[in-house]
Structure 1
Amino acid sequence: MKKNTNEEIGFVFIHGAGLEGRIWSNVAEGLGQPSLLLDFPLRKGPVDSRSDLALEDYVSHMEHQVNQWGIQRFVIVAHSLGGVLALKLASKFSDRLAGFVAVGAAIPKNGGSFVSVLPFPKRMLMTAILRKWGTKPPESAIRAGLCNDLSEEQTTGLVQGFVPEAVRVYTDRAHADVPAVPKLYVKLTKDKEFPSSLQNKMISHLSPHSVEQLESGHLPMLSKPGDLQRILQSFLDRIA
Structure 2
Amino acid sequence: MFLSGAGLPAWIWDDVRRELGEGQQTCVASRPQGGRARLRDYAQAAIDSAPPGGYAIVAHSAGGVIGAEVARLAPERVSAFLAISAVIPRPGGSFVSAMPVPNRWVLSAVMRLAGTRPPDSVIRRGLAHGVDEEVADRIIADFTPESPALYRDRTAPRSWSGWRGYLRTADDHELPMALQQRCAQQLGAAWQNDVSTGHLPMLEDHRAVAAAITRFLDARP
Q: CA RMSD in A?
A: 1.2
Secondary structure, aligned partner of 2:79 = strand
- Specify the alignment match of 2:25 in structure 1: 34
2:38 aligns with: 54
Structure 1 residue 24 corresponds to structure 2 residue 24: no
Partners of 2:191 and 2:47 in 1: CA distance = 27
- Residue 4 (structure 1) aligns with: none
Residue 102 of structure 2 corresponds to 121
Shift of 1:176: 4.9
SS, match of residue 203 in structure 2? helix
**Residue segments in structure 1 that go unaligned for 5+ positions in a row:** 1-11, 43-49
Aligned equivalent of 1:132: 113
Amino acid at match of 2:197: S
1:108 maps to which of 89, 106, 126: 89
The yes-or-no answer on 1:159 pairing with 2:150 is no
Match of 1:142 in 2: 123
Cα offset, 1:92, TM superposition: 2.1
The Cα offsets for residues 49-82 of structure 1, whole Å up to 9 and x where unpaired, read as x22211111112112112xx12x22210000000
TM-score (norm 1): 0.88
| Whole-Å separation in 2 of the counterparts to 1:73 and 1:176 | 23
Q: Which residue of 2 aligns with 1:198?
A: 179
Whether the 8 Å CA contact 1:55–1:169 is kept in 2: the answer is: yes
Among 60, 66, 69, which residue is 1:85 paired with?
66
What CA distance in whole angstroms lies between the structure 1 residues aligned with 2:198 and 2:189? 21
Per the normalisation by structure 2, the TM-score is: 0.95
Equivalent pairs, count: 219
Deviation at 1:95, TM superposition (A): 1.5
Gap regions ≥5 residues in structure 2: none
Q: Distance in 2 between matches of 1:177 and 1:146?
A: 30
Name the CA distance, whole Å, in 2 between partners of 1:191 and 1:123.
18
**Aligned-residue identity in percent:** 34
Q: Residue in 1 aligned with 2:214? A: 233
Match of 1:3 in 2: none
Counterparts of 2:175 and 2:158, CA distance in 1: 22
